[in-house]
Amino acid sequence: MAMSNGDKTLQSICYKRGSLQLLDQRKLPLETLYLDILDTKDGWEAIKEMVVRGAPAIAIAAALSLAVEASNLASFDGTSDDASVFLSKKLDYLVSSRPTAVNLSDAVIKLKEVIKKAAATAKEANSVFQAYIEAAEVMLEDDVTSNKAIGSYGASFIKNYLKDSQKITVLTHCNTGSLATAGYGTALGVIRALHADGALEKAYCTETRPFNQGSRLTAFEMVHENIPATLIADSAAAALMNAGRVKAVIVGADRVAANGDTANKIGTYSLAVSAMHHAIPFYVAAPLTSVDLSLSSGEEIVIEERSPKELLHTRGGLGEQIAASGILVWNPAFDVTPANVISGIITEKGVITKNGKDTFDIAGFVHKTSGNS
Ligand code: MRU
């Protein structure tokens, strides 16, 4: 079974049963190189080293790396329970690759349930592997469907909110497009839907220092999709807002706590504070797999710190040294934007608003919409 994201957008994950290739995003936009992922070890390294990044893409790449390993096992000498233990251990290993995006641990929890159920009824190990592989493949398909729904809900909501404007100018951060997901994108999916509706004047994208997901990936996606876009330095965002050139800010999420506090790429918080100062609505677009209801607020979110090299060298650590050896570096990969500066959270089930409060009732929204397709 060959699976793709179903359209002509860029594809970070190329999967067919038994084979997985990941687009090496470190090489973009100058080189298009796919790496073969043969097993969970390759998957873990690809995630850690940013071959694949973006919360939904990390989860799906991890799940599929194990699907490929399971598909290609020459033999497995054990019971269905042994197969379940084998797969669970591999999932625990994969979850240790990057800590902040909840999509990966959410996928692991769901896949472990599938394995457990299969092991309880299956007579042979092979049925457990089969159940796992099928569930991982469904995750790939579901992510695209859910992103398209996010795009559609987000575009309608924003158009409705900004009734007076004929066309909208938005600002986005990091990369939340086809490259960060199984396809279409979250915040970039909303921008894509606005563009398809003829409602987008232009999108501004930040460079997104230090790893430059904005200049390397988002700018590339915008050019590839013919979406009118302008690249700005992260530090130009407040001036752009002050000049009245942005009508809304839309970003993605790595983990959304139950009250709506949102961890996303470092710099998101500054954008939200600037947007509030300039009375510009600030939206988070994320699938419900990015929500972590076990955390009451963002204070509990573990923020990944990455190598000092990302700041000491150009190209987010991949180029030549530019800062003095010996300087200390603080390099958090994410920050937490408090719910009180977020105007709405756009999901595949609709837009969550605060209804005059300071925080979001995400559990209530999930409960109300569960069962809606
Ligand atoms: O470090 P990265 O590139 O994995 O960070 C990605 C982001 O912060 C994205 O905004 C987020 O994962 C949402 S992707 C749809």
> What DSSP character marks residue 24?
-
Q: How do residues 210-267 score in pLDDT, each as one tens digit?
A: 999 999 999 999 999 999 999 999 999 999 999 999 999 999 999 999 999 999 999 9
* CA 179 / ligand 1 centre spacing (Å): 10
* 172 CB near ligand 1 (under 6 Å): no
Res 97 pLDDT > 90: yes
Task: Check if 254 has its Cβ closer than 6 Å to any atom of ligand 1.
Answer: yes
Q: Tell me if 147 CB under 6 Å of ligand 1.
A: no
The residues pairing with 337 across neighbouring beta strands, listed in sequence order, are: 262
Q: In whole angstroms, give the CA distance from residue 198 to residue 189.
A: 14
Enumerate the β-bridge partners of residue 37.
20
Torsion of CA 317, 36, 2, 146, to 10 degrees: -20
Domains of the chain and any CATH numbers: 2-143 (1.20.120.420), 149-372 (3.40.50.10470)
Distance 76 CA to ligand 1 centre (A): 36
Could you read off the pLDDT of 312-344 as tens digits, one per residue? 999 999 999 999 999 999 999 999 999 999 999
Asked whether 101 lines ligand 1 (CB < 6 A), one says yes
The model's pLDDT over 124-177, given as tens digits with 9 standing for 90+, comes to 999 999 999 999 999 999 999 999 999 999 999 999 988 867 899 999 999 999
> How far is Cα 150 from Cα 57, in angstroms, rounded to an integer?
16
Asked about 234 being catalytic, the answer comes back as: no
What pTM, to 2 d.p., does this model score? 0.95
Answer whether 91's CB lies under 8 Å from 112's CB: yes
Q: Which of 191, 79, 155, 158 is nearest to 124 (CA)?
A: 79
**Pocket residue to mutate for ligand 1, from 22, 186, 213, most atoms within 8 A of Cβ:** 213
Mean pLDDT of 39-51: 98
Percent of the chain with pLDDT over 70: 97
Catalytic residue among 234, 254, 292, 335: 254
CA atoms within 13 A on the CB side of 26: 14
